[in-house]
Amino acid sequence: MNVRPPSAVPVMNSVTTSANSILEAAAGAILPPRRLSLSQWAEEHFRLSSEASAQPGPVDLFAFQREPLDAMGPHSGYELVVLVWASQLSKTSLTLMSLAHMIAEEPGPALVVQPTLVMAEAFSKERLAPMFRDVPILRGKVAESKSRDAGSTTFSRRFLGGQVSITTSNSPAGLASRPIRFLVLDECDRFESSAGSEGDPVDLARARTRSFWNRKILMTSSPTIKGASRIQTAWNETDMRFFEIPCPHPACGHYQVLRWPRVEYDDERPGEAEYRCERCEQLIPHHRKLWMLERGRWVASCPGAKAAGFHLSELYSPWRSWGELAIDWKKTFGNPERLRAFLNTSLAEWWDDEASGDVKEDELLARRENYGPVLPEQVALLTAGVDIQADRAECSVFGYCAGEESFLIEHRVIPGDPTTPQLWAALDSYLSQRWQHPIVGPMPIHATCIDSGYATGAVCRFADERRGRRVYATKGAPGSRPPWPRRESKAAKGRVWLLGVDSLRTTIANRLKLTDGPGRIHLPTTVGPEYVSQLTSEYVQTTYRRGRPERTWVRRKGRKAEAWDCAVYSLAALHSLAAHGVTPDVEAAKIEAMRQTGAAPVAYQKYRSKFVSL
């Protein structure tokens, strides 16, 4: 073996190293910087944080992530990129990678719009802050949010050459204050219909990018309702790309878009679901999915469009099996709300209100049942909804069972003038009574919501004096509000809880269609055609305001709606209890435990006496 003389080694290495250093320095001064695609840059520089990933550290992108990420890059040629993706498919991670690249390589002003303040704060603290901490190339470039001198806060993080601002869809000031080059509209189908009185939040935010020729707009969301979906409107502007993956069978290899009807499973073993190839008709086991994903490709349905659009369902998820989805699918049987959630969040498909149809009055009349006056045994708690009119109060009492199946117990009309104490004394007497339960004995109304739209002051006073009995003055507010708010608001004449009535109405309308299972609404033979007419008095309609689709609830001509309103407010009362962990499922389990031990009804009355104000 020939060995270089020891005396020659350091001399040659020293000379060579010196020469190489000079050449590298010269080349670095002359040659342009290496241009990487955004996906290449992410795999080289980005790091996943432990707060957001089970495998923190360097990024190893899947094939379905590369092309959408590259489209977000500054040199892709696309101004608008739209992701119609199912939940938990790394939309937020791709958004963070694009933000990190912008901060590190091409800094400028950026804005991230979230549906709510809670989501905006969570994005800042749980996703953005860990990224600043863990991505090496960003260290030292972003000012700490605790540093007042740097001008950074939770919702605005400054860096050399720009800042990342975070706002909500209902904030006119946050959407219209300064020019923006990089805009992220996250979960835009959950945005408010209007930012205060300023108009559509998407339009306001996009208007802020007009002064930048190199602007980049990213819209992401799992879809919601067909015809009233912002992400659908944006998707229609794009080249509509779907991810095709090959059949793993050697004699086939056919590329196809995964569709839910092709998933097959045994009813007794849904967790072992497989996928049937659309060409060779052979079943594909789940363990071949990763092999298929690695060889997948994006195919545009409308090539040549100026915007890039990507659609992806949870069928492609590396983290969930087809069997897990099949189990979720079986849970939707007989439950329109779960079906809608599955279509929206798992399959990334739009819910079609018109296709789901309206329930017919004669169908409801035919489904009436003979029960009462004793409560059905499965009822676990009672709630009431009250509507106040100029000459009466109308009240519906509903009994809720496990799975939120419900029974109308009674609809009562209480005559009287709401400006006099007589009406309120009669209403108080009615709400104070108890209904006989076959297992636990007398059962009280657990919570009551009263519409404060009429006689607001009297309603607020009545409710405030009975807060210990969970009687609430409420008011319906349209739009994408939660059914029950986090806190009450101060009205001119008292404390009022603002309800997301659109959500409550949708739930009631969907449940009226059910004929069996969780969520079904049972009606007694004691109600007649007039009650059923009122219960079906409103329907949802898609209208257009300033060119934007909006879902509104419309009253059928000539119909009264007191029964409908009472049902909506009774459901709101159920949500008021759920906000404190009191649900029909929990109560049913307690009653069942008492029945099996023979403790009811004494134990129930003792337990219920501890059910103090929430």
Range of weakest confidence among 9-18, 37-46, 145-154? 9-18
Give percent of the chain with pLDDT exceeding 90: 58
Q: What is the pLDDT of residues 581-605, one digit of tens each?
A: 899 999 999 888 888 887 777 777 6
Mean pLDDT over 116-122 rounds to: 90
In this model, does residue 58 exceed pLDDT 60? yes
Residues whose CB is less than 8 angstroms from the CB of residue 43 and which lie 6 or more positions away in sequence, other chains included: 58, 59, 60, 61
Predicted local confidence at residue 577, as pLDDT = 92
3-class DSSP assignment, residue 569: helix
Cα 563–Cα 567–Cα 572 angle in degrees, nearest 5: 145
Report how far residue 299's alpha carbon sits from residue 303's, in angstroms, rounded to the nearest whole number: 9
Q: Give kind and range of the element (H or E) at residue 606.
A: helix 602-609
Read off the pLDDT of each residue in 229-241 and give the average, rounded to a whole number.
94
The structure tokens listed for 313 are: 């369902």
Please give the residue that has the higher pLDDT: either 31 or 83: 83
CB 6 within 8 A of CB 13: no
Q: 428 pLDDT band (50/70/90 cuts)?
A: very high
Quote the strand ranges of 28-155, DSSP E: 47-48, 57-58, 80-85, 110-114
Report residue 8's pLDDT band, with 50, 70 and 90 as the boundaries.
very low
What pLDDT, on a 0 to 100 scale, did the predictor assign at position 278?
A: 93
Q: Looking at 26-30, 350-354, 574-578, which range is the least confident one?
A: 26-30
Band the pLDDT of 13: cuts 50, 70, 90: very low
pLDDT at site 528 = 94
Are 315 and 242 contacting, i.e. CB atoms less than 8 angstroms apart?
Answer: no
Residue spans per domain, the chain: 38-235, 247-301+317-348, 367-533+559-609
- pLDDT band of residue 151 (cuts 50, 70, 90) is low
Task: Say which residue, 226 or 323, is predicted with more confidence.
Answer: 323
- What is the predicted pLDDT for the residue at 503? 85
Specify the fold of 367-533+559-609.
Answer: Nucleotidyltransferase; domain 5 (3.30.420)
Pair 183, 305: CB distance under 8 Å: no
Nearest of 608, 227, 151 to residue 600 by alpha carbon:
608
Average pLDDT over residues 161-186: 87
pLDDT at 88 over 80: yes
Q: Kindly provide the b/e burial profile for residues 212-244, where b requires at least 16 CB atoms within 10 angstroms of the residue's own CB.
A: beebbbbbbbbbbbbbbbbbbbbbebbbbbbbb
Q: What is the 3-state secondary structure (H, E, C) of 476-528?
A: EECCCCCCCCCCCEEECCEEEEEEEHHHHHHHHHHHHCCCCCCCCEECECCCC
pLDDT in tens, 250-266: 999 999 999 999 999 99
Query: Does 466 have pLDDT greater than 80?
Result: yes
- Judge whether residue 612 has pLDDT over 60: no
Q: What is the pLDDT of residue 195?
A: 72
Cα–Cα dist 289/324, whole Å: 14
Instruction: State mean pLDDT over 370-384.
Output: 94
Residue 390 reports pLDDT greater than 50: yes
Provide the token pair at 180.
């923006």
Q: What is the pLDDT of residues 175-204, one digit of tens each?
A: 877 799 999 999 998 888 777 667 788 888
* Mean pLDDT along residues 535-550: 70
Strand, helix or coil for residue 267? coil
pLDDT value, residue 146? 58
The segment with the largest mean pLDDT, out of 82-86, 144-148, 354-358, is 82-86
Of the given ranges (271-280, 478-487, 507-516), which has the lowest mean pLDDT? 478-487
Read off the pLDDT band of 222 (50, 70, 90): very high
Instruction: Give me 189's structure tokens.
Output: 């189908």
Tokens of 169: 């869809």
Residue whose C-alpha is closest to residue 505's, from 353, 395, 348: 353
Tell me the CB-side half-sphere exposure of residue 279, using CA atoms within 13 A: 13
The phi-psi region of residue 290 (left if phi > 0; otherwise alpha if psi is between -120 and 50; otherwise beta) is: alpha
Residue 244 pLDDT exceeds 60: yes
What is the overall mean pLDDT for the chain?
86
End-to-end CA distance of the chain: 87
Give the lowest-confidence range in 14-18, 185-189, 553-557: 14-18
**CB-CB contact of 283 with 264 (8 Å):** yes
pLDDT of amino acid 9: 37
| Res. 547: pLDDT tops 70 | no
What band does 10 get if pLDDT is binned at 50, 70 and 90? very low
φ and ψ of 22, to 5 deg: -65, -45
Burial of 450 (0-12, 13-18, 19+ CB in 10 A): buried
**Structure confidence at residue 108 (pLDDT):** 92
CA-based nearest residue to 301, from 345, 214, 370, 235: 235
pLDDT-based confidence at residue 544 (cuts at 50, 70, 90): low
The pLDDT value recorded for residue 7 is 38
Pick the CATH number of 38-235 from 3.50.50.60, 3.40.50.11260, 3.40.50.300, 3.40.190.10: 3.40.50.300
Is residue 379 scored above 90 in pLDDT? yes
Quote the tokens at residue 463: 């409710």
Residue 514 near residue 336 (C-beta atoms within 8 A): yes
pLDDT above 60 for 28: no
Among the residue ranges 170-179, 316-325, 398-407, the one predicted with the least confidence is 170-179
Give the mean pLDDT of 95-121.
Answer: 92
Average pLDDT over residues 487-508: 79
Amino acid at 288: R
* For the chain, percent of residues with pLDDT exceeding 70: 87
pLDDT score at 5: 36
Q: Which of 61-70, 165-174, 193-202 has the lowest mean pLDDT?
A: 193-202
Average pLDDT over every residue of 472-481:
84
